[in-house]
Amino acid sequence: MSRGLNKVMIIGNVGRVPELRFTSTGKPVTSFSVAVSRRWTDSKGQRREETEWFNVVAWGNLAEICAQFLSKGCQVYVEGRLQTRHWDNDEGQRQYRTDVVANEVTILDRHHRNNTQNEDEFALDEPMLSVEETLV
């Protein structure tokens, strides 16, 4: 049997305030969006820019940490896997949504650090927060 690979890495800006919810069994889940922009010069020499939006979902401890430390606009590195889910809407039409299920989130910009931390404790190139989900 062959092995597959489902791995996603993105760097972008949080597009909306992370929303923390709990499943019926009490497991925390946080969802937020990340905007990733790319720039290029087209064949006519015009500068172009395009933004791709990603829906991100974090579970467990990572969900609680994302809800506590992430805010709209902060730059993040997210690593995880793609998962597509589906449901039927009220009209009976099938709907699809693809999410990045995060297993690691790193805040990249310093000014979004928790106010209780001392700025002198961090080197300029050190990430503010890095959390990797531990799989049991």
Which tokens is 114 given?
Answer: 């928790």
Residue 77 and residue 11 in contact, taking contact as beta carbons nearer than 8 Å: yes
Q: Mean pLDDT, the chain, as a whole number?
A: 86
User: In this prediction, what percent of the chain has a pLDDT beyond 70?
Assistant: 81
Residue 132 and residue 103 in contact, taking contact as beta carbons nearer than 8 Å: yes
Residue 76 lies in a domain: yes
51's enclosing H/E stretch is: strand 47-59
pLDDT of residue 109: 85
pLDDT at 116 over 50: no
For the segment 3-26, what is each residue's pLDDT rounded down to a tens digit?
A: 999 999 999 999 999 999 999 999
pLDDT at 123 over 80: no
Residue 2 lies in a domain: no
Expressed as residue numbers, the domain containing 70 is 8-39+47-132
- Band (pLDDT 50/70/90 cuts) for residue 2 is confident
CA 65/CA 112 separation, integer angstroms: 14
Residue 70 lies in a domain: yes
For the segment 22-45, what is each residue's pLDDT rounded down to a tens digit?
A: 999 999 999 999 999 999 999 999
Residue 61 lies in a domain: yes
Residue 101 and residue 68 in contact, taking contact as beta carbons nearer than 8 Å: no
Amino acid (one-letter) located at 23: T
Residue 111 lies in a domain: yes
CA 133/CA 66 separation, integer angstroms: 11
Residue 65 lies in a domain: yes
Residue 107 lies in a domain: yes
CATH number at residue 61: 2.40.50.140
Number of domains in the chain: 1
- In this prediction the pTM is 0.78
Residue 3 lies in a domain: no
**Closest-CA residue to 34 (of 59, 60, 8, 7):** 8
